[in-house]
């Protein structure tokens, strides 16, 4: 799946792309129509955890972007 984001959505640029390419998306479990969710293992500031990303690829809206350490 290829998703192209607008410049506004690219503020996390490389990180967002790595999250998207690092795991397979699922339909948003919270029920946002058309939104996809990625939960990708990774690290941030020397902590291991999971990157969470929820976005609507057609509307180019990021609803959730977070790192949760284990």
Q: pLDDT 10s digit of each residue in the chain, 70 long?
A: 455 554 445 456 678 889 999 999 999 999 999 999 999 999 999 999 999 999 999 998 999 999 999 7
The single-letter DSSP state of residue 3 is -
Tell me what pLDDT residue 4 has. Answer: 53
Q: Give Cα separations from 10 to 5, 13, 14, 40 (angstroms).
A: 6, 4, 8, 18
Tell me what pLDDT residue 8 has. Answer: 46
> What's the pTM?
0.79
């Amino acid at each position: 799946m290829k998703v192209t984001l607008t410049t506004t959505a690219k503020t996390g640029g490389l990180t967002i792309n790595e999250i998207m390419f690092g795991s397979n998306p699922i339909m948003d479990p919270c029920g946002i129509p058309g939104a996809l969710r990625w939960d990708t293992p990774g690290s941030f500031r020397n902590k291991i955890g999971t990157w969470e990303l929820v976005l609507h690829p057609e509307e180019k809206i990021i609803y959730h972007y977070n790192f949760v350490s284990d």
